[in-house]
Amino acid sequence: MKTFIILLQKEFRESWRSFKFLWMPLLFILLGITDPLTNYYMEDILNAVGNMPDGFSLSLPDFVPIDILMASTGQFQSIGLIVFVITIAGMINRERQNGTATLIYVRPISFFALFMSKWVVGSLLGILSVSLGYAGSMYYTAILYGSVDTMSFIQMVMSYCVWIVFATAVALMFSAIFKTAFATTFTIIVIPFGVMIDSLIGQYWHFSPWKLANYSVQLLSDTHNEYYIKTLLLTIILLILAIIIGILFTRKNAGTTKI
């Protein structure tokens, strides 16, 4: 427990000093406020940049708040998620490759504490970023399009955070198993590409972790989704599995640290 706290402190210090806790939330806030703003000004933008033929009239759909939040979620799920998992997928293997891990691994630490310290800091970074991102999106949506039920909104954000925490665990697991280049590739395939693949061919099944984000946004609507709870539970089970595998591989690959 004591080594966990020391390692946690170390991870926080690193993330703080490398400005991760500044730029990652700012990136998500930017992503979050982009959609409400651009959709709102879409007509003006099109008129200003495109040389519309005379008599051409553009009819944009009338957006409701849930559409905008769905669009923001789409931003998080693509650009935001890619940037986030790239950052996480280097947390364990990079230390082994540059040799900084050596002076930690030779001390009486448990690899459980080591992995969990990184997972906790990575998860908090993700939770902070998406919460602020959604807050930004919601703020603009509320001003420009109208509001949604507060409790449902909070529920949605928390539900999305489960997905981010899951993504953190998977990225860290790959980080423990492979070197940086492979870990990053696999993580990007499994997480952001996984989301895309699931949205393309996912109509054949009803619950998978990659659907959790969309199901979370649906919490805002009145329709009841019978698959939501199962999806949530499955995500949590896979999350725990990723952590266990990650810890085992952190220990197994400890000897690969550069000496």
Q: Which of residues 15-34 bind other proteins (CB under 8 A)?
A: 17-20, 22-23, 26-27, 29-30, 33-34
CB 58 within 8 A of CB 18: no
Closest separation between CB of residue 108 and other proteins, Å? Answer: 4
Structure tokens that stand for 50 in this block: 């495109």
Residue 58 falls in which region: left (phi positive, over 0), alpha (psi -120 to 50) or beta: beta
Structure tokens that stand for 259 in this block: 């000496």
Local structure of 259: helix, strand or coil: coil
Among residues 156, 164, 163, which one has the least CA distance to residue 69?
156
Structure tokens that stand for 71 in this block: 């669009």
User: Considering beta carbons, is residue 9 or 221 the nearer one to other proteins?
Assistant: 9
State the Cα–Cα distance between residues 193 and 129, nearest whole angstrom.
Answer: 20
Distances (CA, A) of 144 to 42, 137, 224: 13, 10, 27
User: Considering beta carbons, is residue 102 or 155 the nearer one to other proteins?
Assistant: 102
One residue of 12, 21, 105, 182 binding other proteins per CB under 8 A: 105
User: Considering beta carbons, is residue 47 or 185 the nearer one to other proteins?
Assistant: 47
Angle in degrees, CA 153, 154, 155, rounded to 5? 90
Listing DSSP states for 48-105 in one string gives HHS-PPTT----PPPP-HHHHHHHHHHHIIIIIHHHHHHHHTTTTHHHHHHTTTHHHH
User: Considering beta carbons, is residue 90 or 126 the nearer one to other proteins?
Assistant: 90
One residue of 56, 107, 201, 222 binding other proteins per CB under 8 A: 107
Q: Which of residues 136-175 bind other proteins (CB under 8 A)?
A: 136, 140, 143-144
User: Considering beta carbons, is residue 182 or 227 the nearer one to other proteins?
Assistant: 182
Q: Which of residues 31-60 bind other proteins (CB under 8 A)?
A: 33-34, 37, 41, 44-45, 47-48
User: Considering beta carbons, is residue 74 or 90 the nearer one to other proteins?
Assistant: 90
Site residues (vs other proteins, CB under 8 A): 2-3, 6-7, 9-10, 13-14, 17-20, 22-23, 26-27, 29-30, 33-34, 37, 41, 44-45, 47-48, 83, 86-87, 90, 94, 98-100, 102-109, 136, 140, 143-144, 254-255, 257-259
